[in-house]
Amino acid sequence: MSMAAKSSGEDVLQRLQALAEHFRTGNSSQSPTLPPPDPAATQLTNRAAVLICLFLSDIGELRVILTKRASTLSSHSGEVALPGGKRDLSDADDVATALREAEEEIGLAPSLVNVVAVLEPYVNKKGMTVVPVLGLLSRKEAFKPTPSAAEVDAIFDAPLEMFLKDEKRRAVEKEWMGYNYLLHFFDYEYENEKYVIWALTAGILIKAASLVFQRPPAFLERPPRFWIASANGSQT
C-alpha cells in the first residue's frame, strides 16, 4: 500500500474518531454523513442489531471484523455475518444489543468499542428489523478473538473499501413483487480460507463503506425494497 493510501486511511479514522466523540457527548446528530435511525422502525419488537467494528491495520487500511456462522445453527448456518443478534429485554438500546452480542460471539469487550453512530435500520427477508451499529476498535492489541463454539466457526477481517469496488464482486438479479433487485456477492480469501459475503451483510457493508469513505460504490446497487419496508408478512 502506498504512503498516500495509508495517510488516507488514517485521515478517515481521525474523522470517525471525532464522530465517536460526538456520539459519546450526545452530539452525534451533528454528523452530516451518518443518518439517524428511522423513528418508525424503533417501535418494532422483532428486532436485532449488528456491530460494524472497524480498525486500522498496520498498513493503514480500515478493516471490518466478520464471522462465519457455525454450521450447526438452524438459520444462515455457515454464512458470513457481522457480529450481532436479537435484542434482549435487558438491552437498553440497539447499541447495547450489538455490543453484548459481539462479546458473546467473538469475545470483544464492549469497553474496546467506541461507537460512531447507529445507522438506518434494515428489514431482512424474514421481517426482522436489523440495526447496524458502527464502531471503532480502540485497542487492536487488546482484542483476543474468542469464537463462541455454538455460534461461530471462524472470525476474520476484510478491508472495508472492498465493498465499494468491483474487483471481487458478482451479482444475481432477483424479483420481488414486480421489482427487480440485485444481490451482491463478494468473494474473499483470508489466511487460505475462502469466504463469500453476500445478501444483507453485503448490503450493510456497502452502505457503511459509502458513508465512511464518503463516496458511492463503483457499481449499481439496486437493493431489494423489502430491506427498507415495514416488517410485514413473508418476503422472498
Is 193 inside a domain boundary? yes
Q: How far apart are CA 2 and CA 5, in angstroms?
A: 5
pLDDT of 215 higher than 50: yes
State the residue range of the domain holding 21.
3-227
Is 119 inside a domain boundary? yes
- Kindly give the pairing relationship between strand 129-137 and strand 47-56: parallel
At 99, the amino acid letter reads L
214-218-221-227 Cα dihedral, nearest 10 degrees: -40
- pLDDT band for position 188 (cuts 50, 70, 90): very high
Q: At 12, list the grid cell.
A: 478517515
Is 111 inside a domain boundary? yes
Q: What is the pLDDT of residues 92-146, one digit of tens each?
A: 999 999 999 999 999 999 999 999 999 999 998 888 999 999 999 999 999 999 9
Q: What per-residue confidence (pLDDT) applies to 121?
A: 95
Domain count, the chain: 1
Three-state secondary structure of the chain = CCHHHHHHHHHHHHHHHHHHHHHHCCCHHHCCCCCCCCCHHHHCCCEEEEEEEEEECCCCCEEEEEEEECCCCCCCCCCEECCEEECCCCCCCHHHHHHHHHHHHHCCCHHHEEEEEECCCEECCCCCEEEEEEEEECCHHHCCCCCCCCCEEEEEEEEHHHHHCCCCEEEEEEEECCEEEEEEEEEEEECCEEEEEEHHHHHHHHHHHHHHHCCCCCCCCCCCHHHCCCCCCCCC
Q: What is the pLDDT of residues 137-186, one digit of tens each?
A: 999 999 999 999 888 999 999 999 999 999 999 999 999 889 999 999 99
Q: What per-residue confidence (pLDDT) applies to 6?
A: 57
Residue 154 CB burial class (10 angstroms; 0-12, 13-18, ≥19): middle
Is 235 inside a domain boundary? no
Is 208 inside a domain boundary? yes
CATH number at residue 180: 3.90.79.10
pLDDT of 1 higher than 80: no
Q: How far apart are CA 111 and CA 121, in angstroms?
A: 24
80 versus 7: which is more confidently predicted?
80
Section 35-48 average pLDDT: 59
Section 44-52 average pLDDT: 86
154 versus 232: which is more confidently predicted?
154
Q: At 87, list the grid cell.
A: 435484542
Is 206 inside a domain boundary? yes
Look at residues 182, 218, 220, 188 and name the one whose alpha carbon lies nearest to residue 200.
182
CA 193 to chain centre: 21
Residues 69 and 79: beta-carbon distance below 8 Å: yes
Q: What is the pLDDT of residues 65-98, one digit of tens each?
A: 999 987 766 565 579 999 999 999 999 999 999 9
Section 39-57 average pLDDT: 79
What is the reported pTM?
0.86
Q: What per-residue confidence (pLDDT) applies to 231?
A: 38
Is 236 inside a domain boundary? no
Is 233 inside a domain boundary? no
Residues 94 and 133: beta-carbon distance below 8 Å: yes
